[in-house]
Amino acid sequence: MAEYIVSARKYRPTKFKEMVGQEQVATTLKNAIRTGHLAHSFLFCGPRGVGKTTAARILAKTINCENQTDDFEACGQCPSCVAFQQNSSFNIHELDAASNNSVDDIRALVDQVRFPPQTGKYKIYIIDEVHMLSAGAFNAFLKTLEEPPSYCKFILATTEKHKILPTILSRCQIFDFRRIGVDTIVKHLQNICEVEKIDAEEDALHIVAQKADGGMRDALSMFDRLSSFSGGKLTYASVLENLNVLDYDYHFKVTDALISENLSLVLQLFDQVLKKGFEGDDFILGLCEHFRNLLFCKDPNTLKLMEVSENLKQRYAQQSTLALPDFLVNCLSIGNQCDIQYKASKNKRLTVELALIKMCYVNSVVSIDAQEGSKKKLKSLTNEPKNTLQKQEVDTEDTQKAAAPVQAAPPPVNRNVQPIAGAIKTKKVLKIDMLQDALDNPEATDTPILTSDEPEVTYDEPVMILNQDNLAIIWQQYAERRLPEKGGLRVHFSSFSPRLNADMGIDVFVHSQTQKEQFESVKLGVQSYIAQRVGAEVKLNVISDKKTENTRKPYTEKEKFERLVEKNPIIKKLQQEFGLELDYQ
């Protein structure tokens, strides 16, 4: 009986055009050979089983071939090609860095580099799993890798590029190998099935390709095992049984039950999945993948992102018409949270069942939220007609008055002005600073002592996003619009240095105890104004500089007034007789 050779070795590519899924690397290497721009060292990076070592062997064989073809492929018939195919070439050396990773191994390699090839053009060293070399071995290899002899080429291969020293990376021409797509693996397996005369269903090969996770070697290893198990006939059921993969049909049944809110059927299907030996996280991940495919079916542009067979695409398309996008997005979010909580949960089954219960009633929750939203909207609409009705009544009254004898019309009412928080009171105020100036300068009769505060005006200002730049603008606008008569406070107000903190509150830095008291007197007004401008409540934290905490406390406005009363008691009598209120701000 002939010796059995596994498919990964039997169908291993021997030419650049046979490389599956790495056409960009093959094209670049062939162009480098054609133009003679070959680097002295190459580094092939990528996941396992995608063709890194195979590409290195093809490159080594091609550049040493004595009779290259017109498309710059190895002929396979010259003495160099024959020796390489029989693993007897003296010019091409393969080294496994996983087992030869010491400094002595690299020194022995460096000693061999000094001798030129006896036959052929180049002496080529293929070092696989180069990231396994020790730090000392890397350092011993640096000088030779940077300035090798003209007849020497190094081809390094690794699955973990991040473990290689930057000094090694800078000396190599790097090629990144990509994962092989599901469709590419399926097509390659179908070609092998034709050669081996194996009857295989397309859905079965899709399962193998998805399980391989982008690695052709893994796909071929599973293919060999399945062909032996099924006796040369690959069916969808046999592949599911042998590879321990959950049938797609369970995901379709569970989704139908979730859409119809049949919770008992959902839990029964999940119990069947557990009895088949599958873990709960595998089931929930597969279900999330199912929801993702259903969501992709909604748009023809995302349909190509689905890595399933054509038969399954039709089933997905049929079920996607029943599932609303909101339902799928909410279920995806619930499944993702379940996957995050699964490992930390003590009762893992309950975690998955709770997620399924949420998914089952997600449509009801969404509809309830929509109803509440419509109720809120209806409530706002029912509030608005009051003003409209009042306006209509006013219009009716105006019409009636127009028919009656002409009388003096009342001033028009502006109904577009927004209400102001709190009642507005106009009061007479005794200004302490102005009173002090009047006492110090008796001849300055133009200094007004009694003033009247103007009522605050609410401006029609747009809502702004709360950030540091907008905070500075709002702060300045408050100083200009809300503090028109408070000159001393207005000057200090701009220097209070508001800053957003990590909790989206506002820290206000004052430089003295007097400034702190001044700001505390207007804190509520500032807080209300900022909340009105940003559309959300904010918290103000007044922070004093540490340098000024221990300094002598200056006179406050109240203390100034009390000292003035001590000097001139008539001021107190003046306040009482005229009913003046003191302005301590």
DSSP string across 60-87: HHHHT-SS--TTS---S-SHHHHHHHTT
What confidence score (pLDDT) does residue 252 get?
92
CA-wise closest residue to 319 among 295, 343, 348, 289: 295
- Chain-centre distance of CA 102, in angstroms? 42
Q: Label residue 534 by pLDDT band (50, 70, 90).
A: confident
Residue with tokens 């105006």: 398
User: How far is C-alpha 306 from the geometric centre of its chain's CA atoms?
Assistant: 22
Give the pairing of strands 233-234 and 540-544. Answer: unpaired
pLDDT reported for residue 456: 44
Residue 410 has pLDDT above 50, yes or no: no
In contact, 50 and 216? CB cutoff 8 Å: yes
pLDDT the model gives residue 358: 92
Q: Which of 149-153, 184-188, 263-267, 457-461 has the lowest mean pLDDT?
A: 457-461
Cβ atoms 489, 474 nearer than 8 A: no
Average pLDDT over residues 175-203: 90
CA 51-52-56 angle, 5° bins: 110
> What pLDDT, on a 0 to 100 scale, did the predictor assign at position 437?
55
Q: Which residues contact 391 (CB under 8 A, 6 or more apart)?
A: 415
Give the pLDDT of residue 430.
47
Q: Could you read off the pLDDT of 339-356 as tens digits, one per residue?
A: 999 988 999 999 999 999
Interval 460-486 mean pLDDT: 73
d(C-alpha 373, C-alpha 371), whole Å: 5
Q: Do 471 and 498 contact (CB within 8 A), yes or no? A: yes
The DSSP bridge pattern shows strands 450-452 and 428-430 to be antiparallel
Stretch (H or E) spanning 541: strand 540-544
Average per-residue pLDDT for the chain: 79
Q: How confident is the model at residue 439 (pLDDT cuts 50, 70, 90)?
A: low
78 has a pLDDT exceeding 60: yes
For residue 110, is pLDDT > 80?
Answer: yes
Q: What is the Rg, in whole angstroms, of the alpha carbon atoms belonging to the chain?
A: 41
Distance (Å, whole) CA 194 – CA 440: 111
The DSSP call for residue 117 is P
Please report, for the chain, how many H helices and E strands are present, in that order: 24, 13
| Between residues 547 and 20, the one the model is more confident about | 20
Of 169-173, 246-250, 362-366, 498-502, minimum mean pLDDT range: 362-366
What residues pair up with 507 in beta bridges, in sequence order?
A: 499, 541
Under 8 Å between Cβ of 177 and 22: yes
CA angle 42-45-48, nearest 5°?
Answer: 135
What does DSSP say about strands 199-200 and 233-234: parallel, antiparallel, or unpaired?
parallel
Which two tokens mark 149?
Answer: 């002899």
Contact 442, 471 (CB under 8 A): no
Sole residue written with tokens 């399945």: 226
pLDDT at 390 > cutoff 80: no
**Buried-state track 348-367, b at ≥16 Cβ within 10 A, e below 16:** beebbbebbebbbebbeeee
Q: How far, in Å, CA of 517 to CA of 480, rounded?
A: 20
Element (H, E) at 144: helix 135-146
Q: Which residue has the higher pLDDT, 80 or 2?
A: 80
How far apart are the C-alpha atoms of 208 and 212, rounded to whole Å? 6
pLDDT for the residue 491 = 61
Residues 6+ apart with CB under 8 A from 82: 76
* Domains in the chain: ranges and CATH: 7-176 (3.40.50.300), 182-243 (1.10.8.60), 248-364 (1.20.272.10), 428-578 (3.30.300.180)
pLDDT at 440 over 60: no
Which amino acid type is present at position 62?
Answer: T
CB–CB of 316/293 below 8 Å? yes
The pLDDT score that the predictor gives to residue 127 is 92
Residue 62 in tokens = 């091609």
Nearest in space to 283 (alpha carbons), one of 261, 312, 310, 253? 253
Task: Look at residue 457 and tell me whether its pLDDT is greater than 50.
Answer: no
Give Cα 479 to chain centroid, integer Å: 40
Residue 417 has pLDDT above 60, yes or no: no
Residue 484 pLDDT: 56
464: left (phi over 0), alpha (psi -120 to 50) or beta: beta
The whole-angstrom separation of Cα 356 and Cα 334 is 8
Enumerate the H helices of 245-296 as residue ranges.
248-259, 263-275, 280-296
Query: Which of 103-117, 120-134, 350-364, 392-406 shows the lowest mean pLDDT across its residues?
Result: 392-406
Residue 338: which pLDDT band, with cuts at 50, 70 and 90?
very high
Average pLDDT over residues 142-154: 89
Alpha carbons within 13 angstroms on the beta-carbon side of residue 321 total 5
d(CA 215, CA 456): 73
% the chain with pLDDT above 70? 78
For 230-283, the pLDDT digits (tens) are 777 888 888 888 888 888 889 999 999 999 889 999 999 999 999 988 999 999
Lowest mean pLDDT, pick from 51-55, 143-147, 148-152, 408-412: 408-412
One-letter amino acid for residue 330 of the chain: N
Look at 566 and 380; give whichever has higher pLDDT.
566
Nearest-angstrom CA–CA distance, 32 and 59: 11
Does residue 428 have a pLDDT over 50?
A: no
Q: Say whether pLDDT at 224 is over 70.
A: yes
Do residues 522 and 485 make contact, with C-beta atoms less than 8 angstroms apart? no
Mean pLDDT of 365-390: 51
- β 428-430/581-582 pair status: parallel
- Identify the CA nearest to 191 among candidates 164, 159, 223: 223
Q: Any idea which of 17-31, 135-149, 266-280, 361-375 has the lowest mean pLDDT? A: 361-375
Mean per-residue pLDDT for 428-438? 50
Q: Do 249 and 287 form a contact (C-beta atoms < 8 A)?
A: no
Reference 87, options 60, 116, 51; nearest CA is: 60
> Which single residue is written with the structure tokens 């019309």?
409
With vertex at residue 416, the alpha carbon angle to CA 415 and CA 422, rounded to the nearest 5 degrees, is 80
Higher pLDDT, 52 or 466: 52
> Minimum mean pLDDT among 22-31, 60-69, 81-90, 464-473: which range?
464-473
**Intra-chain end-to-end CA distance of the chain, in Å:** 105
Report the C-alpha gap between 276 and 271 in whole angstroms: 9
Q: Identify which has the larger pLDDT, 472 or 156.
A: 156
pLDDT tops 70 at residue 1: no
> What angle is formed at CA 442 by the lines to CA 437 and CA 443, rounded to 5 degrees?
115
